[in-house]
């Protein structure tokens, strides 16, 4: 868990401080920092950090963090829905059940869908319960770490 959090911090710093135009270069820089990860893991990390490629105007594209690394107002609203509605989270293998306040399950599930957490394949909501299916190869620890990164106030 801490390794992923540390790796994401290092990825952000590397992108801020270097002109990186491909994942191989970023993988090499991560290796120099002591992180050995696959290209698939790096892709998930980049998606989670909302890293994009932007044009330099003449010779190509390079990775960049979202402007000022700020969360958009709409994303803040969805995070607030999750924070306000979630009561508990339990797992059985790659299935999760999120208990919410009565009437909050649909808004929390919608927020999770829109936040596009890479660990979640899909959600199904009732009145106060959300059924969550994790993507192949993802664990509950991955999702809980993602929650801590995106929604630090949530009790997991």
Nearest of 99, 102, 106, 98 to residue 81 by alpha carbon: 106
Q: Where in the chain is the domain with CATH 3.30.1360.40?
A: 73-150
Q: Which helix (H) or strand (E) holds 131?
A: strand 129-134
Dihedral angle computed from the Cα positions of residues 16, 154, 107 and 5, in that order, rounded to the nearest 10 degrees: 30
| Numbered ranges of CATH 1.10.10.10 in the chain | 2-66
The fold adopted by the segment(s) 2-66 is Arc Repressor Mutant, subunit A (1.10.10)
At residue 2, the pLDDT reads 67
d(CA 107, CA 109): 6
pLDDT value at residue 90? 94
pLDDT of residue 91: 95
pLDDT given at position 126: 95
What are the pLDDT tens digits along the chain (156 aa)? 568 888 988 998 899 888 899 999 999 999 999 999 999 999 999 988 888 888 877 778 888 887 655 456 667 778 888 888 999 999 999 999 999 999 999 999 998 988 888 899 999 999 999 999 999 988 999 888 888 877 777 766
Structure-block tokens of residue 18: 């270097």
What kind of architecture, by CATH, is found in domain 73-150? 2-Layer Sandwich (3.30)
């Amino acid at each position: 868990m801490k390794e992923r959090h540390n790796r994401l911090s290092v990825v952000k710093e590397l992108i801020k401080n270097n002109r990186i135009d491909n994942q191989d270069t970023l993988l090499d820089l991560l290796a120099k920092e002591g992180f050995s990860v696959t290209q698939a893991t790096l892709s998930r990390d980049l998606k989670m950090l909302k890293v994009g490629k932007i044009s330099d105007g003449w010779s190509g594209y390079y990775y960049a963090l979202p402007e000022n690394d700020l969360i958009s107002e709409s994303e803040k609203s969805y995070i607030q829905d999750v924070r306000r509605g979630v009561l508990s989270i339990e797992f059985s293998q790659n299935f999760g059940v999120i208990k919410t306040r009565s009437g909050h399950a649909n808004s929390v599930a919608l927020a999770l869908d829109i936040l596009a957490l890479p660990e979640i394949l899909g959600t199904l909501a009732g009145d106060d319960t959300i059924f969550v299916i994790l993507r192949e190869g993802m664990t509950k620890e991955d999702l809980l770490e993602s929650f801590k990164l995106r929604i630090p106030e949530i009790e997991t």
